[in-house]
Amino acid sequence: MSSLVATPDERLAELGLELPEFPSLPFAPRLRPVLVHDGLAYLSGLGPVGVEGRIGETMSVEEGYEAARTTALLALRRIVDELEALDRVRRWVKVLGFVRSAEGFAEQPAVVNGFTDLVVEVYGEERGLAARSAVGVSELPTGIPVEVEAIVAVQ
């Protein structure tokens, strides 16, 4: 009996997850949502549009973690919209997470784990576990609690 590896789409279904439609933005950024160059796709920063909060003040670490998971689903939606298939991603290379943080809050990595954990659940550790940074900031666009950008290797 051969061991078949599930595709990212199959893993999404197994996890009971659906990719949301990308929400309308309340502003018009001048950017490409995904830019492919020399085998890498650069995902512009995105976050849970419509969710507002500051981690460590109006939102808990757990709520921030869930906002980061939502952001990961939006990143996967961007990949499908721009690259046509989740399986075009060979490997997640780098993730940079910004967490809108209360003064003195220092658990940004725990929040950004929401993004990373979902990506690893969908792609597995070999393809999904990337180099990563998690940074605390005082403000993010429209008051979102987390914003993430990423670089992925594509085929």
Contacts of 126 (CB under 8 A, 6+ apart): 91
pLDDT at residue 124 greater than cutoff 60 = yes
Fold of 8-15+32-154: 60s Ribosomal Protein L30; Chain: A; (3.30.1330)
Q: Is the Cα dihedral 81, 85, 88, 89 positive or negative?
A: positive
Mean pLDDT, residues 115-139 taken together: 98
Kindly report the pTM of this predicted structure: 0.94
Q: How confident is the model at residue 2 (pLDDT cuts 50, 70, 90)?
A: very low
**Dist CA 152 CA 125 (whole Å):** 14
